[in-house]
Amino acid sequence: MKKAQNAQRKNNAVATKSRPSFIRRAGKWIWRKKWWILILAAIAWGVVALFGGGTQKVEPLATMEITRGEMRQVVTATGEIQPLNTVSVGSQVSGTIEKLYVDFNSKVKKGDVLLEIEPSVLQASVDEAKASLVSAESQRNYAKSEYQRNKTLYNEGFISRAEMEQSQTTYEQAEQSVKRMQSQYDRAVTNLGYATITSPVDGTVIAREVDVGQTVAASFQTPNLFKIAEDLSQMQIETSVSEADIGVIKEGQAVTFTVDAYPNQTFDGTVRQIRLSPTTTSNVVVYTVVIDVDNSDLRLMPGMTAFVTIVVTEKFDVFKVQNAALVLRKFDGIVDNAGDATPNDHLAIQRDGKIILIPYTKGLVTATETEIISDELRDGDRVVIGRTGQKTANTTNRMGGGPGGGGPM
């Protein structure tokens, strides 16, 4: 019994001596492996998380400036510059082109000769028709004399009435034959005149489709020889406007446009006509809008592509703000007590270091800006759009688009 107790005390003493030795070895191992740095960092983080996170930083307000200036609602499109009136000159007779008197850009007057078709075949037709006419006139004269003679003989009773009427019929047929030959002769002369092509209007030759020696065939359709622009000092643009925008386009509206040839210059025009005939392109219904353009300096040329801006509405000296400023959904965190005010009818305005709510309504809305109508606005006011770094859950894009789209210019 006494031996057993002594053995138990000895084991307890050995265990007590081994514990400090294990802790020292573990400590030396941690120190050697630098684990103590991570342990201390974890302890420090825990302390900060438990005791140091009681204060929350308030983010500053984000604002946008309300400016005063001009606003325009526009419709944009592209079109081609064309002369007001272009005349296609053709030929009514066939033949080989013998002479050309004009070329591209030639100035012509009404009646000026443009080209001549080799006339020998047409002249032969005239000569043939002339001979036929002379022959018909000779036969008529003979038939007339025969009728007058037979009429006298009938009156004196020497021939029968049938013989007299037969000579009368022969004379009348000869008279109609003369008229028919006269018509054929006149037609041949007219066709010979068609061998000389003249200008039907005053203008400028903008296209020449033939050369000397080329054969013109007018059997089935009139071949086009020239295109003459009647007046290049007055041009027009034919542009296509979609059905979504055509409702705001009116005759007389101001138009500005640019062309690639003069990228730094803006030209002016006026809406002259809105054609009622629609066309469908890629399942989009469009209408042709014709725009008058003054080209007194002749800088614009037919066929140029015009980038058109039609001014639908224009306002001056109005309060306006970028559409991105109207994104606030609620006034939480902006003002302490908003009452019944909502961002739909009130703006949070920063003025003299204070935030106030003022009522407003939207005016003209373009693709980038919105007119702000309010009697309480002042120059220098800024609209609050939220707080810097605020989550977007409290905001949404409420930008509106006015009819016709477009943007301020």
- Domain spans of the chain, in order of start: 62-69+318-386, 119-194, 232-314
Q: Say if residue 354's pLDDT is above 70.
A: yes
Q: Say if residue 396's pLDDT is above 80.
A: no
Q: What is the mean pLDDT of residues 26-50?
A: 63
What is the reported pTM? 0.63
The residues, ordered by sequence, that sit 6+ positions from 299 with a Cβ below 8 Å of its Cβ are 261, 262
**pLDDT, tens digit, for every residue of 149-159?**
998 988 888 88
Query: CATH second-level architecture of 232-314?
Result: Beta Barrel (2.40)
Phi, psi of 111 (to 5 degrees): 95, -10
Percent of the chain with pLDDT over 70: 81
CA gap 294, 267 in Å, rounded: 9
pLDDT band at 397 (very low <50, low <70, confident <90, very high): very low
Q: Say if residue 298's pLDDT is above 50.
A: yes
The whole-number pLDDT of residue 62 equals 85
Whether domain 119-194 has CATH 1.10.10: no
**pLDDT, tens digit, for every residue of 304-317?**
999 999 999 889 99
* 49-53, 236-240, 249-253, 266-270, range with the lowest pLDDT: 49-53
Average pLDDT over all residues of the chain: 84
Highest mean pLDDT among 32-46, 215-229, 244-258: 244-258
CA gap 268, 346 in Å, rounded: 40
Q: Say if residue 203's pLDDT is above 80.
A: yes
pLDDT band at 406 (very low <50, low <70, confident <90, very high): very low
Cα-atom radius of gyration of the chain, to the nearest Å?
A: 50
Position 149, amino acid: R
The whole-number pLDDT of residue 12 equals 52
Q: Say if residue 403's pLDDT is above 50.
A: no
Q: Which helix (H) or strand (E) holds 307?
A: strand 305-322
**pLDDT, tens digit, for every residue of 134-143?**
999 999 999 9
The whole-number pLDDT of residue 221 equals 76
Percent of the chain with pLDDT over 90: 55
The whole-number pLDDT of residue 394 equals 45
* 45-49, 238-242, 278-282, 401-405, range with the lowest pLDDT: 401-405
pLDDT band at 206 (very low <50, low <70, confident <90, very high): very high
The whole-number pLDDT of residue 400 equals 37
Return the structure tokens found at 303: 């066929």
**pLDDT, tens digit, for every residue of 312-346?**
988 999 999 999 888 888 888 788 787 888 888 88
Q: How far is CA 264 from CA 103, 236, 257, 258, 305, in A?
A: 32, 21, 11, 8, 15
Q: What is the mean pLDDT of residues 221-235?
A: 90
Q: What is the mean pLDDT of residues 194-205?
A: 93
The whole-number pLDDT of residue 30 equals 58
CA gap 227, 225 in Å, rounded: 7
pLDDT band at 170 (very low <50, low <70, confident <90, very high): very high
